[in-house]
Amino acid sequence: MTPSNIASFNRRDLLRMSAAGSFLAAFVPGALRAAEPKVSIPPYNTLTIEEEIALGRKFGQAYEKHVEILRIMPIDSYLDGIVSKLAKASQQPSWPFQVKVVNSAVINASAIPGGLVYVNRGLLEFVEDENEMVGAVAHELGHVVARHTTNRLARIFIARQLYQQVKENVLRNNEVISKIIESLGGPVLMLAELHYDREAESEADLLGFYEMMRAGWHPNGLLRFFTRLQQVQNQQSAAEVMLSDHPATADRRAVMEKELASVKITAPLREQSLQFRAVKAALGLLPAPPDAHPQH
């Protein structure tokens, strides 16, 4: 068997392994009800939490050399507060979650191992209320909590016979991980190619749904976000990046509608804030963001 065939076999075999688990239990016909997915880690991902956080930091350092990070204190403080509340309401409340804004017109966000979330300026300008925005961010936290990005990276490292090298060096103060990232095309290309499968996207939707509700936001924010995405789905626009590799928006809306109908919301939950309007106004005063290629 050639090396390329071995890599192909590994990827196919690992994808089959990762398709099993909590998602199937949550989505078998007749079983769709108010139930948050229980995260399970596939056996091929043996990175410890400490190693995953270190990998995320090194990946983030490499990524930020290639993109422009907006550093506007009121916006950063506002988003940090939201992510902090969502994180405390997640299944990994002790992780060092952090959010940064990328000065990109592309409507997207990316999750990095260990708790780092990049939200594109284009997404902040696209959403019309706080609930939509929190829904999109909660979805990304769902990816982090479920370790979806780490699982994808682990599969790539295994297929390229780099996994042991990563394990041996990720906690060391050297350049090995940076060189591995560059050898795989660099952080921007790697994020662009780290497409989650539909099961992972749907699991992140449901994790985000329950994170929002526990953190004090009405979980209809995800439904609103999907509704607006569907409205632009047939347009040639920056929104295509969030649509091309995700489950059909109509399907995601249907799942959220069923989940909303199945939960009992007894207390008023937040949907809007004056801070959100202030952030939108601040973004409107900035020079237009540069055109950008899809990053995720």
- 79 in Cβ contact with 101 (< 8 Å): yes
Asked if residue 35 belongs to a domain, the reply is no
Asked if residue 129 belongs to a domain, the reply is yes
Asked if residue 72 belongs to a domain, the reply is yes
Asked if residue 37 belongs to a domain, the reply is no
**Residue 139: band (very low, low, confident or very high) from pLDDT cuts 50, 70, 90:** very high
- Strand order of the β-sheet with 116-120 is 69-70, 98-102, 116-120, 109-112
Give me the sign of the Cα torsion angle 40, 43, 49, 53.
negative
pLDDT at 14 over 50: no
**Residue 32: band (very low, low, confident or very high) from pLDDT cuts 50, 70, 90:** very low
Asked if residue 218 belongs to a domain, the reply is yes
pLDDT in tens, 233-271: 655 454 444 544 454 567 787 888 888 888 888 778 888
How far apart CA 233 and CA 22 sit, in angstroms, is 29
How far apart CA 29 and CA 220 sit, in angstroms, is 23
Residues 45-74, mean pLDDT to the nearest whole number = 96
Of 161-170, 173-182, 247-256, where does mean pLDDT reach its minimum? 247-256
In this prediction, residue 24 carries a pLDDT of 28
Domains: count for the chain: 1
Token reading at 289: 């963001």
For the chain, helix, strand, coil in percent to 5 are: 55, 5, 35
Asked if residue 36 belongs to a domain, the reply is no
Asked if residue 24 belongs to a domain, the reply is yes
How far apart CA 267 and CA 277 sit, in angstroms, is 24
Global confidence as pTM? 0.81
Asked if residue 295 belongs to a domain, the reply is no
In this prediction, residue 2 carries a pLDDT of 35
Mean per-residue pLDDT of the chain: 83
- 224 in Cβ contact with 253 (< 8 Å): no
Query: Which domain covers residue 101, as residue numbers?
Result: 3-29+42-284
Of 155-164, 170-179, 246-255, where does mean pLDDT reach its minimum? 246-255
Q: Which of 263, 266, 264, 265 is nearest to 32 (CA)?
A: 263
Amino acid at the residue 268? P
